[in-house]
Structure 1
Amino acid sequence: MLLEQLKGTGVALVTPFKADESIDWNALEKLINHVIDGGVNYVVSLGTTGETPTLSSEEKLDLMKFTFEKVAKRVPVVIGIGDYNTRDVVKRLETCPLDEAAAILSVAPYYSKPTQEGIFQHYKAIAAAAPKPIILYNVPARTGRNMTAQTTLRLAHEVENIAGMKEASGDMLQCMEILRDKPADFLVVSGDDALALPQVACGMDGLISVAANYFATDLSAMIQAALVNDYKAARMLNNKLQRAFELMFAENNPAGIKAFLHKGGIIENNFRLPVMPVTDPLYSQIAEFLKNYK
């Protein structure tokens, strides 16, 4: 059951680039080993943290295959496949090599700002085509449209093959309504590092994290402590990480987490436009934070 398989901490992997903007495969392998050794429960490939809007179809396919190969079944792999073009998502779900995937993370359709019925019908169509369970992804700050609790619950109860959601609306009342009325076996995870602790306390099953790219050990320990109601330990870790969350998302994601990873010697600090590195003052603050981080 997906709820058992993906309970805990997932990490939305960044895509490391070389100076010439080609994918840095050696750095990606290093990153995969870093997060798995740090204790994450699963990895998410081809999420928006991986700068997927800048990747070609061929690169996405190569990244998927590479991730499966280097993870080598040590932890489950979730693949991000989402778009505002429903027909294109259906086609990709039908043609991508997804045998080794645990699930598909699919962002709500963005830019076109569909109605709630449009969101429902989009997910219904892709769920029918998907060879693996679908995890809904609600992130209105990026998509321009909130997927309401009512739409989420309708999908959870009525559409076969929709097995969970990543909730990143930041609306705690909406989150609690979903948690109260969802099916018992429906996975709900936080999509917001800074809110993950209170959301797990409300009943969420874990976190798909940006920060775990670097802070895999402490993020995983925090979520595991919260899941067993050890909130004293979880609060200590959350307090330790709070400033990192602030710095990480001060300007842009994934520019913030890539600055941490670069300072930590895991990847180079390279991007594809329109994403730019963090400004020098923010990079200096990140470097100062890590100097004192234990």
Structure 2
Amino acid sequence: MALFRGAGVALVTPFHADGSVNYDKLAELVEEQIAGGTDAIIACGTTGEAATMSEEEHMDVIRFIIKAVNHRIPVIAGTGSNCTATAIDLSKQSEEAGADGVLLVTPYYNKATQGGLIQHYEAVAGAISLPCILYNVPSRTGVTIQPETMAYLYQHVENIIGVKDATGNISMITKLMSLVDEDFLLFSGDDDQIVPLLSVGASGVISVLSNVAPRETHEICQKWFDGDIKGAREAQFKAYPLIKALFAEVNPIPVKAALNLMGKNVGSLRLPMTEATDSTKALLKDEMTKYGIL
């Protein structure tokens, strides 16, 4: 049930000046990502500003991306919610629209217990047949899927196939990988930890960096898979300063600024997200120039 191996882009959502979705630009971004070697597109995740979209908009963007990609690479729909019923509804609609899988963030704000997380994910996954990747990002949601909980869900729910891990906790990730089998899909949720997670069995990354450097992010993973450990490590080190710049402010503030610096014209952000500061833009310009993409 492997969805993809390598670097999947957590795609930004471009907006017009009035805040509406710029679908012409979104189509361009999809084509650029595919041409750049991206292994999968994640629609309406954190980087895509799904939290500021209505449910109707959310699904419109997912459907548009699925149609634009047209089966060339997998499309994984971000359909998680702090409301189980909403997550089920978005997941069902995404399955009907032709998504290849769903990404399910932990229910934010509610601070569910581990038992609550199990019941939530059993309900969502049980309502669809699509492969489900859970998203563990406690810095944003206030709740952590513990390794034992993740292993239980993987072992007892057929279409829960893995996790995007943005805990930054290598010890916890290593424990998780000791509890599951080799078919479990671990994706790094932090671009600065791609190689460290590959070393414990990850299948790749769901990446912010890929928005500005799709080929290079893919190559970090591919070098590792090809046995070029030194090359993968050097590529990770080379990208590190740019990755830090892309997180100089809360994601996706810097990556949208970076894309605009590249002339992509993806527009602004929706409140409560704000424009990057001048100092962040200057840092991005400097690091992107050093990296060779500006």
TM-score band, normalised by shorter chain: over 0.9
Please give the alpha-carbon distance, in whole angstroms, between the structure 1 residues aligned to 2:162 and 2:247: 25
**1:106 pairs with 104, 107, 113, which one?**
104
The reply on whether 1:59 has 2:57 as its aligned counterpart is: yes
SS in 1 for 2:199: helix
Contact 2:59-2:93 within 8 A present in 1 as well: no
What stretches of structure 1 of length at least 5 have no aligned partner?
Answer: none
1:286 aligns with 2:290: no
* Offset from partner CA, 1:81-111 (integer Å, 9 cap, x none): 0111112222333344535211111001111
2:39 and 2:74 in contact (8 A); partners too = yes
2:184 maps to which of 183, 186, 193: 186
Cα RMSD of the aligned pairs, angstroms, is: 1.3
What does residue range 1-294 of structure 1 map to in structure 2 within 5 Å? 1-2=1-2, 5-294=3-292
Question: Which secondary structure state, in structure 2, belongs to the residue aligned with residue 118 of structure 1?
Answer: helix
TM-score by length of 2: 0.95
Aligned-pair CA distance for 1:125: 0.8
Identity of aligned residues (%): 37
Post-superposition offset of 1:160: 2.2
Please state how far the C-alpha of 1:290 moved relative to its aligned partner: 2.2
Secondary structure at the counterpart of residue 75 of structure 1: coil
Provide structure 2 residue ranges, at least 5 long, that are not aligned to the other structure.
Answer: none
Where 1:60 maps in the other structure, the secondary structure is helix
CA deviation vs aligned residue, 1:43-78 (integer Å, no higher than 9, x gap): 100111100011112211211121012112111110
Q: Deviations over 1:143-185 (max 9, x none)?
A: 1011110100010111222111111111101111111221332
Give secondary structure in 2 for the equivalent of 1:188.
strand
Name the CA shift for 1:99/1:29 in 2 (closer, same or farther; >3 Å).
closer
Equivalent AA in structure 1 for residue 16 of structure 2: K
Using the size of structure 1 for normalisation, the TM-score is 0.95
Give 3-state SS (helix, strand or coil) of 1:194's partner. Answer: helix
Could you tell me whether the CA contact under 8 Å between 2:17 and 2:268 is conserved in 1? yes
Structure 1 CA distance, aligned partners of 2:95 and 2:225? Answer: 33
- Aligned residue-pair number: 292
8 A contact 1:197–1:223 mirrored in 2: yes
Q: CA deviation at 1:131?
A: 3.0
Does structure 1 retain, via aligned residues, the 8 Å contact 2:11–2:208?
yes
The AA in structure 1 aligned to 2:190 is D
SS for the counterpart of 1:252 is coil
Cα 1:97–1:116 shift into 2, 3 Å: closer
Letter in 1 for 2:140: R
Please tell me the residue identity of whatever aligns with 2:74.
P
